[in-house]
Amino acid sequence: MKKGNKNLGREFTKGIIKENPVLCLLLGTCPTLAVTTAAVNAIGMGVAATIVLVLSNVVISLLRKVIPDTVRIPAYITVIAGFVSIVQMLVKAYAPSIDESLGIYLPLIVVNCIILGRAEMYASKNSVLPSALDGLGMGVGFTAAMLLMGMIRELLGAGTLFGVTVLPESIFTPITIMILPAGGFFVFGLLVALAQKLRRITPKEKEQSGCGGCPLAGKCSAVKGKEDCGNA
């Protein structure tokens, strides 16, 4: 029993640090770059994605013996799209300001590779409780990485944190480029460099390629066998 608990704990924590979906597996880069202009947006996006991730992992895990192997990807996409629509409606109704600032990226959670990736790699092979915890852990890791980026970009780009002025303009001139697209790529590059540096300490960690975590990588011959993909 004790051992079981320990394993469940690991299912949860692995997504936060060791297999952080954004900084280590490099999945879901689009929303990470797009919505992190402010810390609040990062949390809104992270929470919305986490809800979808947990619910779709649970449902796909429950259906894993029912869904035929050949049509599993369309089936997963349908389940995920259903939950995304629900979350979208809830956000529109109860947090319209978040809906406004996330815009198109809220419905685009449907094509977020983290969610399809966890469905394919984890939920389709494991039972309900570990799948839910795996989804929750990955969601928290995703949110944490986005929050970190959002805070850095908001602080440097606007001198505020969660909308509260931290660095008044009298002592710090905001570096506007940080909240522009270029700043997104730049901060993300540095954070990935930091994550790589920290991970080199653990020796058994193997190199992850950019598309290696992509759920469809197996079908994509651009990835297979060649080095065209990801970080060399």
Partner 1 sequence: MLRSFIYVFLAAILTENYILTKFLGICPFLGVSKKLNTAVGMSAAVTFVMLLATAVTYPIYMKLLVPKGLEYLQTIVFILVIAALVQLVEIVLKKYIPALYKALGIYLPLITTNCAVLGVTMLVIEKSGTDYGYAHALVNALGTGVGYLVAMVLFAGVRERLEDADVPDFLKGLPITLIAAAILAVSFNAFAGIVDGLVGTV
DSSP-assigned states of every residue in 58-110: HHHHHTTTTS-GGGHHHHHHHHHHHHHHHHHHHHHHH-HHHHHHHGGGTGGGG
Helix axes 128-158, 2-13, angle to 10 degrees: 30
Question: Using CB under 8 A, which residues numbered 1 to 60 contact partner 1?
Answer: 26, 29-31, 33-34
Strands (E), 73-218: 160-161, 164-165
CB of 152 to partner 1, least distance (A): 14
Return the ∠ at Cα 77 (arms to 54 and 71), rounded to 5°: 120
Question: Using CB under 8 A, which residues numbered 200 to 229 contact partner 1?
Answer: 210-211, 214-216, 219-223, 227-229
The one-letter amino acid code at 63 reads: L
Site string for partner 1, 135-174 (x = CB under 8 A): ----------------------------------------
The one-letter amino acid code at 66 reads: V
Neighbour tally for 173: CB within 10 Å: 9
CB of 5 to partner 1, least distance (A): 35
Candidates 60-68, 127-135, 143-151, 177-185: pick the segment binding partner 1 (CB under 8 A).
Answer: 177-185
How many of the chain's residues bind partner 1 (CB under 8 A)?
55
Return the ∠ at Cα 98 (arms to 38 and 145), rounded to 5°: 45
Site string for partner 1, 72-101 (x = CB under 8 A): -xx--xx--xx-xx--xx------------
CB of 10 to partner 1, least distance (A): 26
Residues that bind partner 1 (CB under 8 A): 26, 29-31, 33-34, 73-74, 77-78, 81-82, 84-85, 88-89, 104, 107-108, 110-113, 116, 177, 180-186, 188-190, 192-193, 196-197, 210-211, 214-216, 219-223, 227-232
